[in-house]
Structure 1
Amino acid sequence: MGRDERDTVAGGARLYEAAQAVVGDHDRAVEAVRAALKPIHDAAVKRELDAIPVARLQDVTEGRLRLGSVEKSGLRTLGSVLDAGPYRLRQIPGVGQRTVDQMLAAARRLSEAVQETVAVHIDVDRPEPSTTALVTALHVLVEAGPDTRRALDRAATLSGRLGPLLTDAKPAAGRFRMLLSGREKKARASAAVTELRSLVDAGERSGLSELFAQASVDLLRGQSSDIAAWVDFELRSAEYYSLLAEISGRSPDAAAVEGFLPDEVAERVRTQQLDDAHRRVSLRGYQAFGARFALAQRKVILGDEMGLGKTIQAIAVLAHLAAEGQNHFMVVCPASVLVNWTREVEARSALRVVVLHGPDRHEAYADWKERGGVALTTFDGLRGLPAPGAGQVGLLVVDEAHSVKNPKAKRSQAVALWTERSGRALFMTGTPMENRVVEFRNLVRMLDGGVADLLGERDALAGSVAFRKAVAPVYLRRNQEDVLTELPSLQQTDEWEELSASDEEAYGAAVRAGNFMAMRRAAYMNPEKSAKLERLREIVQEAGENGQKTVIFSNFKDVLRVVREAVTAGTTDGTPVFGPLTGSVPAGRRQQVVDDFAGVQGPAVLLAQIQAAGVGLNMQAASVVVICEPQIKPTIEHQAVARAHRMGQVRPVRVHRLLATGGVDERMVKMLEAKTRLFDAYPRRSAVAEATPDAVDVSDTELARRIVEEEQARLGMADEVLTADRTPA
């Protein structure tokens, strides 16, 4: 053994020390977060325990405890029982040692459950010293970024390999030590040096020393100012909460993260590797699983509920495939989100983006064919592009895939052809099936005909277990409440208003004319005396006084015009009003309007046509949502609300649905309850209701006709309308 071997051992030792330093620096940053979290968590647990009545101890002990004398003594909550302790409890008349022991044992079991489940929420509007300390401690890790996570993972792996090798290679570090070693030790030392040389050379080629050094610098940079940390938290709260869940060990239930997939599918997904070399964003646990699912199963539907970051998961799949050497990818999406997709791919990956939209799309397509990258186009745009050869496209991503559930539509046929020709396909939709099993089956058929053939009405009727088993190879869905413990509360209020005399007059004219759409917007046709507008102005004013932003949705452009005039006239404090966003506003402009709305300091109002803005645009800046009239499909409202109440929202969201009593609004709400229940039972839960879905389906046209006829009868106009219909023109 000579100088070369000694240099190799020394190089391995330096690399080991650098790796250990990164792990140590990260551990100290994590401990700082834990230290800041503990008092906040303890306070949250105490509040929870102080709210649980003593009577709950009966549930744990199956009614064996007699608690009347305990409550009479003033100990009425679980927290007060635990605070009292055994000595105080024994002083209560009629309470013996056995009762005390049983009571405290039951109380501790409930306390442990609360300890494990209570969630810490950071109130951005009411910063306190304790939450500020937590946010600033988290800020260090968030600012360190994905490169630090990458460095940490490699450091942990490398330390595990280098430690034993350096031990075996010790004799080679000195000439005399090697001479004095026995034959077996010399052989181990020689083999260890050979492996060390391979690791050190590989580390030099990939710049591991520099990666470790930069990670340590980032972790040791120290905490930023309180203001900087809070501002960053508001902008990137999802990353803060993700780290918090990881560090606290209060991650979501593993089965929920895996979408309750059967074990054989879930295990295959778990073993799938995920390369992050081209990715610039950290993934939450459920997001990493979703990306692995798409890779392992090749052609799938990601049906995660809105707000869970389906775009991020798609980018993770794209980045992994790029790291494997593939370079041609296609994303198909509505025109309204082309800008958002461009921003997301550029910001969160190192991949090249080519937009195939507008007059230069054919030149852009030729450039993409030659140089590769992530091509972005619309559903209509895809129809005008030449279909690729088999395997030329590494991944086809279809956003809002429920738009292609009709196999007879040309856009659906184009997507089906590209899906067939692509190596992998990822369909993304929060609402894969609204009313009919057959529509969901149509999507599945594009991906896997065999699975589609297995998915029959019998699976729907059999319930969740049969359904999940049938679609598991191609379908993954997770819900916010299962995997996002940090989402602020969502408070939904139905604002029932009595129509004014002026409203009634406009409504009656619409009913007499049999005009369903006019009936739905009649409450806004006389703005000066509109009951709904009066309540809407009150909501906007209250939000403004609290410094909150409001987004107002309506299906109708003329309603939005009326609302804009009313809100503008009613905001005497100069609150800016943006929009309305309608289908006629170019896609790029829509995103700019949303950005301008979010960029305002303090209150602001955004007006949006619910169909145009309910897809793809993120409105986390808004914490108040107003829906001007009930929508024909419940999913439309769900999507609109999810634009504000989604990952990244840091404030509780209040939703106000403006409804008029006694007319079309009331009838729509009642008739759509069945649709909402079906949606919750089937696509939301990956299961179906006990009854056949078709049994509760009500088409838009049929619903409108039925409501018009019922309202004409209620208002005594049925005979009048029938006579008018029979009168010769």
Structure 2
Amino acid sequence: MAREARRRPGAGRTAARSRGRGRGQENEGIMSVLARAVREVEASVQRGSVKPSVRTKFHVIALLVRDERASVKADDSHSEAYRAEQLKRLDGIATILAKVAVRDAGLLALLADDAPVSAEARELQREMLVAAGRTPPAEEAPVAAPVSTDTAPKRQVVPQAVVSRQLANPFLAPDYGAVVTRPAHTEPRPRRLVNWELMEPLLRSFETATDGAAASMALPGPATVRTPAGLELMPHQARLVAAAEDGHRTFLLADEPGLGKTAQALLAAQAADAYPLLVVVPNVVKTNWAREAQLWTPDHPATVIHGDGDTIDGFADIIVVNYELLDRHIGWLGGLGFRGMVVDEAHFIKNKKSQRSQHVLQLSAQIQARAPRPLLMALTGTPLINDIDDFLAIWQFLGWIDERKPRPELMASLEETGLTPIDPGFSAAARASVIDLGIVRRRKTEVAADIPARRVADLPVELDDAAGRSIRAAERELAGRLVSRYHAALEARGGSLGDGVDAELVRRVAGAELADKTTKTGENVFSMIRRIGQAKAGLAADYAAQLVRSVGKVVFFAKHIDVMDAAEAIFAERGLRYASIRGEQTNRKRQQNIDAFVNDPDVAVAVCSLTAAGVGINLQVASNLVLAELSWSAAEQTQAIDRVHRIGQAEPVTAWRIIAAQTIDTRIAELIDGKAGLAARALDGSDEEMSSAADLQLEALVTLLTDALTATR
């Protein structure tokens, strides 16, 4: 009887559950099942073992917590206190899920309401409900295709070109269930440092253990790198590519702007055969990345994602996307099978709570889980000694650390030092361990022998907004007007279109367009160039602001006052102090602003009129300048550059020339280079060059008309 009495309470609870009575008992069952499951998931993630089965269980817990929360809130058969207690317990489980997701970015996507539920997840959900004493819902009938609803995410897209790439693959979707095998030495068994807090000592080591030594890993000698004809790597660039050839796969490349980080990253990817390669960049430089890829690695086609990706090449080896579009494309990017990832201006991800940081970390985690030894590169010109906490997200992107501790490779290196954080030499050894994982930092002054004393670097930008579309439409209208004039002149003299393009007549028509001041419809070439300058103003100012963070003081040149105004508004919005140097200022005011830029370390930018500030002033406190607008004279640009490149300048000078891609801006830049060349720019201008502005205007129209006539033949 005693034995039977001891069994009776448990038997009663089971019977009650089976009869569907006792709501409180049911909740206790589901809570116990969820609590046990979430602890199992947490333990697996802490061990670094995130297998597909763990991901499935994580997803099912999230689904059940969501459903149970809604059920408890809707249930008015229990007291407020009871429901508050249940919601509190559910919040505890949800908190553990959130912490686990932060530790493994690949789990973040499973917390989304729209995350697809696999067949395995549905089966596990049924099993957990049965274990909790619940009746599983009836299985839903399969549907032929997903149905779009108003609650579906509107920004998630899959470009048709990507679908074509997936369909062209003769294999099934890859099975990522197999754990990537790492070299044995990268997975040491925890020893003396297992219970130490290591993140803070690692950060502190970059502040206290420098001893003036450069934060840069030892690199091999320059490699003989295969480059396209006419291009040659500088020695410091070739050394990083040599490291990639030798098998190094993670780099925090922190060279100063102007030292060719883009080319180094592209050629390192080629050396590592890290294709397909994902490149995440700020919007202002994504067109330039495609251009540089075409120059340095022409055998590996690159494509740029704009908007919904309708124009991308789904079969390209290099896919370039800006941070702002990641949320729209994160789904298909995560499943494309990248073997390498480059993040430009990597300090953009310093805030790990931001959406773009979470997307970057999620993609990196997926690549590391699926590709054996992928190439991961973070590019930034920001000095490592500033805001070292900002680099935690970069280290996590590179796979050096997780949310709380060093990853196996870094831990192995720290263990090999034989030291703990309380030992005197730990900071220096820890700093060296991090640097050896792949930090590379060179300054212009350190590699001055490698680079020209002055150079002009073109930075093409895409005007893909309404202003850009309007400018391209106006350019087509101008070209059409020129073609009509050409046809009329040809007909008047009895010529034939079948005779080919008459170069002399083209020049006469272009000259007549320049001389015609009576055009009532459409735009002339001068108003169009001004509009292009206005459209580029924000992008040019944005790039100048990025340079300020990387290199300090920057000179910003523009031709028109409205472009200067727009740039100054952006600098003020970014909290950057600037000095304005304009033609309408008195000599005294002008000199005050020059002195402020030269002498006040807090004045970061000199915003200069290309004509008013192009002569007679010394701004050599800076070594980087931005040319926001093109001049009609090579000499005028040279004079502006020479405000920085002067006797006494200790660093090589880089002029970043902002060019609107797919517009007449590109043609004008090519004409300037064709007439003057980089070598001629060093002559500081001459009367002959200054008088060539009209010729340049004429040549721009000749090129526009010739291209239009050739396209219509």
- TM-score with structure 2 length normalisation? 0.34
Larger helix fraction of residues: 1
- TM-score with structure 1 length normalisation? 0.33
